C-alpha cells in the first residue's frame, strides 16, 4: 500500500503549475474501485465530433471541469491522485496538435490465397499479422500516371495532394472521469507485471502529457468494454502520429521531455503488441527501431547514476526513482526487442552479448510508497540495492555470457530476470536462424536454463509480485520449447502461409513430431497450461503469456497430427527432475482428450479456453480465434 505524501512530485521532472490555476486531469480517481466499476453495466457517452474553434473550446470546457470534480481522497494504491496539476486541454496538450485532430489512415496490403488444395488449414487471412486491403484498385482515373514524356500534369499533382492529406477525426479526448478510471486500471492491473513507471512519484505535467495518455490507452484494454477498447485504439493511433510528428522538437526541449517521450513510445509499443490488430503489429515492428535509436541517444543503456549520500532522504529517493526508471526503460526495450523478434521470426536489433546491460534494483524497492518505506527495505539486508561497487552492477565484473549475466542477478530483482530470460529466448531463436543450434549447443543451453531454474523457480515472491514471478515461470518453460522446437516451422505447418504446405516443411514437421524433442516440448506446454490454470483472475498476464499459450497449443496440435508413434524414447529430462514432475504423466494428460480420428486435437481446446479467459488482451482473443479456425478446418475436412 502506498501512503499519501502531499509533497509527492518528482523533483527531477519539475512538473509545473500554470498561473491560471490548478486542475485535476483525472478527477475522482480516489475512492473508485475497479471491482465496483466491473460490477455495474456501463455505457460510455462519447463526445460527438466537432470542428474548428468551437471543438477546441468544447474540449477545453469539458476537461476544465476536472477542477470541480477533483477530490482529496487517497487511492487504493496509497498515494495522491496523479493528475492534480494543470488544465489538460490548455497546458498539458497545447504542444500536441496531432493528438487533437488527426488519425493514422492505416496501413493496408493485399495478400492472395493459394490454390484450392487443402493439405493443411488455410489460416493465412486469419493470421495475427495479416492485413486486408480496403483501398480501391488503382486505376488511371483515380491515380493518373505521368505520360510517356515523363511530364507531370495537374491531374497527377491533384492526386498526390489528396493522398498526402491527413484524415481528421473526432477532436475530443475522453472525459476526465474516463481518463481517471483508465489510469487507475493501468496502475492496479498492468503495472505489477510491467513495472517501468515509478507510481509513487508519477505526477502529470506538460512534460509527460503523452506518457499520461499512453498509460490511458493501455488502461482502456483492461475493462473489456467495446467502447473502451475503441477509445484506447484511438488514443494509441493519435499518440503514435503525435510522437512521430514531434520527436525532433522534443529532442531539443531537454532530457526530461525526451525521456517522457521514450516512455510514452514504449507503452505505445506495448499497446500494439497486445491489441490483437495486425496493423498495430506492423506499426510496432516498424517503429521499434526508432525507439531503440532514441534510447541510445538518451544514453539509456549506459551506467546508472547513483543518488548522492549527502542529499536528504526524499531527494535521494526521487533521484533514485528517476535513475531506476531509466534502468527499467532499458530492460523494457530489450523485452520488446525479444518479443517483436520472436513474434515475427526475425533478428533482434540490440546485441545479446552487450556488456552495458543494466540491472534494476529489487521490485519491492520500486513499489515502495514513500522514502521511509524505501529506506527501510534498502537497509533490511534481505533486499538488493544496486550500488556502483556491487558485483552485478554495470561496469564491475560484467558477465561474459548471457547466462552468466542472468545468474548474477539477485533473486528478488524479477524485472531484470525477466529481461535477461527474454535475451536467452532471442539467443536461441537467432542460433536456430543462423543454423548454429547443434545438438551440442542445445545440450549446453538445456543445462544452463536448468541452472537458472534452480536459482529462481524455487523462490516464493511477495504477493504483489506473484504475477510477475509467474510470468517468469512461463517464460522459463517457453525457452525450453524454443530450444526443442522450430516455432516458425510449426506455424507454417498449420497454414500460416495458406493451405499449400511445402514438401520440405511437411517432412521436417513429421520428423520433429516423431522426435524426443517433440515430447519434451509437449511436456513443457502442459506445464504452462497447468501453471496458468491456477493464475488468479484478478491479475493480468505478462505480455509474453498469450504467445506462450499459442505456441504450446500449436505444438500439441502438430505433435498429435504428425506423430506416428515411433520407438520408445527415454524421457528423463533434468528440468522435470528439478520440478519432481513425471513426464509420462504429462504426456498421458495431453493424450486424455483423444477420441478416435480426432486424436490430433489433443488438449488444444483447453488452450483455447485459457486464451479466451485469461486477461483482457486482444491478442489472446486473436490467438484463440486462429486455433478455433484450425480445429474447425481439421474436423470439417
Angle between helices 209-219 and 255-274 (to 10 degrees): 20
Residues with Cβ within 8 Å of residue 289, at least 6 apart in sequence: 349
Residue-averaged pLDDT of the chain: 76
Indicate whether 106 pLDDT > 80: no
Q: What is the pTM of this model?
A: 0.76
**Res. 544: pLDDT tops 80:** yes
CA dihedral 579, 480, 358, 387 (to 10 degrees): 10
Q: How many whole angstroms separate alpha carbon 205 and alpha carbon 213?
A: 12
> So what's the pLDDT on residue 165?
63
Q: Residue 579, Cβ neighbours under 10 Å: how many? A: 14
290 Cβ contact partners less than 8 Å away, ≥ 6 residues apart? 244, 247, 265
What is the distance between the alpha carbons of residues 190 and 188, in angstroms, rounded to a whole number? 6
Which tens digits make up the pLDDT trace of 12-27?
Answer: 444 444 444 433 333 3
Angle at alpha carbon of residue 202, lines to 196 and 206, rounded to 5°? 110
Q: Decide if 425 contacts 475 (C-beta within 8 A).
A: yes
Tens of pLDDT along 516-527?
999 999 999 999
What value does the mean pLDDT take over residues 267-285?
92
Distance CA 192, CA 186 (A): 9
Asked whether 144 and 156 are in contact (CB, 8 A), the reply is yes
* Residue-level pLDDT at 551: 97
What does the pLDDT read at residue 104?
38
Q: Which of 231-235, 377-381, 415-419, 548-552 has the lowest mean pLDDT?
A: 377-381
* C-alpha–C-alpha distance, residues 603 and 512, integer Å: 19
Please tell me which residue, 215 or 123, carries the higher pLDDT value: 215
Residues near 110 by beta carbon (within 8 Å), at least 6 away in sequence: 132, 133
Which is higher by pLDDT, 293 or 164?
A: 293
Is 619's pLDDT higher than 50? yes
Query: What's the rounded Cα separation, in Å, for the pair 314 and 134?
Result: 55
How far apart, in whole angstroms, are the C-alpha atoms of residue 412 and residue 5?
26
- In three-state secondary structure terms, 392 is coil
Report residue 492 as a C-alpha cell: 507454417
Question: Cell numbers at residue 533, please?
Answer: 490454470
Rounded to the nearest 5 degrees, what angle is found at the Cα of 262, between the Cα atoms of 287 and 307?
A: 150
* Burial profile 147-179: b = 16 or more Cβ within 10 angstroms, e = fewer: eeeeeeeeeeeebeeeeeeeeeebbbbbbbbbb
Contacts of 615 (CB under 8 A, 6+ apart): 540, 541, 545, 546
Per-domain boundaries in the chain: 137-167, 486-636
Residues in the chain: 637
pLDDT of residue 357: 78
- Burial class of residue 254, CB neighbours in 10 A (0-12, 13-18, 19+): exposed
- Render pLDDT for 554-587 as a digit per residue (tens, 0 to 9): 999 999 888 876 666 778 899 999 999 999 989 8
Q: What pLDDT is stored for residue 497 in this prediction?
A: 84
Neighbours of 630 (CB within 10 A): 23
Residues 121 and 499: beta-carbon distance below 8 Å = yes
C-alpha 461/C-alpha 364 separation (Å) is 10
pLDDT at 224: 73
| Cβ neighbourhood burial of 625 (10 Å; 0-12, 13-18, 19+) | middle
Give the pLDDT score at 305: 66
The whole-number pLDDT of residue 358 equals 83
In whole angstroms, give the CA distance from residue 436 to residue 419.
23
Asked if 447 contacts 572 with a C-beta cutoff of 8 angstroms, the reply is no
pLDDT value at 52 more than 50: no
pLDDT confidence of residue 167: 58
pLDDT at 50: 44
- What is the tens place of the pLDDT at every residue in 452-462? 999 998 888 88
Q: Which of 144-158, 199-213, 354-368, 599-613 has the lowest average pLDDT? A: 144-158
Q: Which long-range contacts (CB under 8 A, 24 or more apart) does 280-284 make?
A: 280/233, 280/236, 281/128, 281/129, 281/343, 281/344, 282/107, 282/129, 282/131, 283/104, 283/107, 283/240, 284/340
- With a CB cutoff of 8 Å and minimum separation 6, the contacts of 75 are 2, 29, 30, 31, 81, 184
Specify the pLDDT at position 583. Answer: 92
- Tell me how far apart the alpha carbons of residues 256 and 435 are, in angstroms, rounded to a whole number: 44
- Residue 624 makes CB contacts below 8 A (sequence gap 6+) with 608, 611, 612
Which residues make Cβ contacts (< 8 Å) with residue 455, sequence separation at least 6?
Answer: 407, 411
Amino acid at each position: 500500500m502506498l501512503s499519501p505524501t502531499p509533497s509527492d512530485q518528482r523533483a527531477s521532472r519539475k512538473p509545473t503549475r500554470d498561473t491560471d490555476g490548478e486542475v485535476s486531469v483525472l478527477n475522482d480517481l480516489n475512492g473508485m474501485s475497479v471491482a465496483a466499476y466491473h460490477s455495474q453495466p456501463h455505457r460510455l457517452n462519447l463526445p460527438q465530433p466537432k470542428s474548428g474553434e468551437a471543438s477546441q473550446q468544447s474540449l477545453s470546457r469539458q476537461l476544465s471541469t476536472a477542477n470541480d470534480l477533483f477530490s482529496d481522497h487517497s487511492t487504493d494504491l496509497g498515494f495522491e491522485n496523479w493528475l492534480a496539476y494543470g488544465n489538460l486541454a490548455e497546458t498539458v496538450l497545447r504542444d500536441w496538435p496531432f493528438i487533437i485532430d488527426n488519425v493514422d489512415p492505416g496501413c493496408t496490403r493485399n495478400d492472395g490465397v493459394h490454390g484450392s488444395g487443402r493439405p493443411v488449414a488455410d489460416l493465412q487471412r486469419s493470421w495475427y499479422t495479416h492485413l486486408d486491403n480496403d483501398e480501391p484498385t488503382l486505376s488511371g482515373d483515380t491515380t493518373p500516371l505521368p505520360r510517356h514524356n515523363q511530364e507531370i500534369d495537374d491531374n497527377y499533382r491533384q492526386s498526390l495532394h489528396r493522398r498526402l492529406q491527413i484524415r481528421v477525426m473526432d477532436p475530443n479526448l475522453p472525459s476526465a472521469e474516463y481518463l481517471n478510471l483508465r489510469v487507475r486500471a493501468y496502475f492496479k492491473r498492468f503495472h505489477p507485471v510491467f513495472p517501468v513507471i515509478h507510481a509513487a512519484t508519477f505526477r502529470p505535467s506538460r512534460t509527460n502529457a503523452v506518457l499520461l495518455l499512453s498509460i490511458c490507452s493501455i488502461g482502456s484494454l483492461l475493462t473489456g468494454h467495446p467502447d473502451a477498447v475503441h477509445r484506447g485504439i484511438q488514443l494509441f493511433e493519435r499518440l503514435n502520429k503525435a510522437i512521430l510528428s514531434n520527436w525532433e522538437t522534443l529532442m531539443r526541449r531537454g532530457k526530461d521531455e525526451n525521456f517522457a517521450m521514450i516512455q510514452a513510445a514504449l507503452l505505445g509499443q506495448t499497446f500494439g503488441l497486445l491489441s490483437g490488430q495486425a496493423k498495430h503489429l506492423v506499426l510496432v515492428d516498424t517503429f521499434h527501431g526508432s525507439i531503440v535509436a532514441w534510447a541510445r541517444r538518451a544514453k539509456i543503456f549506459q551506467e546508472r547514476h547513483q543518488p548522492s549520500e549527502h542529499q536528504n532522504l526524499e531527494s535521494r529517493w526521487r533521484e533514485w526513482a528517476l535513475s531506476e526508471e531509466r534502468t527499467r526503460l532499458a530492460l523494457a526495450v530489450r523485452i520488446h526487442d525479444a518479443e517483436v523478434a520472436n513474434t515475427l521470426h526475425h533478428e533482434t536489433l540490440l546485441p545479446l552479448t552487450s556488456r552495458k546491460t543494466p540491472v534494476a534494483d529489487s521490485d519491492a524497492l520500486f513499489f515502495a510508497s514513500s522514502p521511509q518505506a524505501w529506506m527501510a527495505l534498502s537497509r533490511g539486508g534481505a533486499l538488493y540495492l544496486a550500488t556502483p561497487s556491487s558485483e552485478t552492477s554495470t561496469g564491475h565484473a560484467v558477465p561474459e555470457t548471457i547466462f552468466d549475466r542472468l545468474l548474477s542477478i539477485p533473486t528478488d530483482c524479477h524485472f531484470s530476470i525477466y529481461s535477461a530470460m527474454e535475451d536467452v529466448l532471442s539467443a536461441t531463436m537467432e542460433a536456430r536462424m543462423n543454423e548454429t543450434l547443434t545438438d551440442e549447443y542445445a545440450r549446453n543451453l538445456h543445462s544452463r536454463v536448468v541452472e537458472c531454474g534452480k536459482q529462481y523457480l524455487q523462490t516464493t515472491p511477495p504477493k504483489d509480485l506473484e504475477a510477475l514471478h509467474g510470468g517468469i515461470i512461463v517464460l522459463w518453460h517457453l525457452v525450453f520449447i524454443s530450444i526443442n522446437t522450430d516455432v516458425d516451422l510449426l506455424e507454417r505447418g498449420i497454414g500460416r502461409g495458406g493451405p499449400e504446405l511445402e514438401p520440405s516443411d511437411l517432412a521436417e514437421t513429421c520428423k520433429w513430431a516423431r522426435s524426443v524433442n517433440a515430447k519434451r516440448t509437449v511436456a513443457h506446454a502442459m506445464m504452462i497450461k497447468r501453471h496458468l490454470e491456477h493464475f488468479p483472475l484478478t491479475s493480468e498476464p505478462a505480455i509474453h503469456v498469450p504467445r506462450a499459450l499459442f505456441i504450446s497449443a500449436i505444438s500439441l496440435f502438430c505433435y498429435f497430427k504428425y506423430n506416428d508413434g515411433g520407438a520408445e524414447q527415454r524421457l528423463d529430462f533434468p528440468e522435470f527432475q528439478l520440478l519432481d514432475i513425471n513426464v509420462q504423466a504429462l504426456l498421458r494428460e495431453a493424450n486424455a482428450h483423444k477420441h478416435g480420428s480426432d486424436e490430433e486435437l489433443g488438449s488444444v481446446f483447453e488452450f483455447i479456453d485459457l486464451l479466451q479467459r485469461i486477461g483482457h488482451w486482444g491478442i489472446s482473443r486473436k490467438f484463440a480465434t486462429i486455433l478455433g479456425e484450425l480445429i474447425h478446418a481439421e474436423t470439417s475436412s
